[in-house]
Structure 1
Amino acid sequence: MNIEKSKDYERTFKRITKRYILTCENIESAIELFKTDSSNQKLQFKKIQCKHDKNRHSMRIPNTQYRILISIDENVAVLQCICDHDEYSMRNKRC
């Protein structure tokens, strides 16, 4: 599966790593785990019911409260953003 990163993802990645909330290694290891085994229980990978984006999914960064929103279309996964529980709820409430 090909992985692409949106501008919003890059922005949230930079903000979270700059504030030392998460390390680059934590985030990249979660993405690597997703590439190799998306059904791994550590990721808690799930589909989100959304009217605007039928292909929206989320996965947890292991051992943290952060999630990565993903839009999967055929063989391409677009990383949308990294968000904490509150932002995750807000983004999916508007969905």
Structure 2
Amino acid sequence: MATFAVTYTYAEDSARARDEHRPKHKEFLESQFNAGRLRVSGPFGPDGAPGALLVFEAESADELAALLDQDPFHRADLIAERTIRDWQIFFGGVK
């Protein structure tokens, strides 16, 4: 199992639609947290482009991408850019 850092950059002018879809998005993330796949997540602060950081455990980046394609924010085209990067933790941990 590998650890992946995922970043979302939200689509421009999507705040209202994100508010609409947020309950289902949070349910999706909660289900991944309860299953032990999502370790930590949250939105970035007000500086810079709106987005979020999520840390997942998965077998591969492709497997994680397929899972994240089910996120209601993704399905509603509210994510302009998504990155998935293998993350090598040296100190601390999210396990």
TM-score normalised per structure 1: 0.30
TM-score normalised per structure 2: 0.30
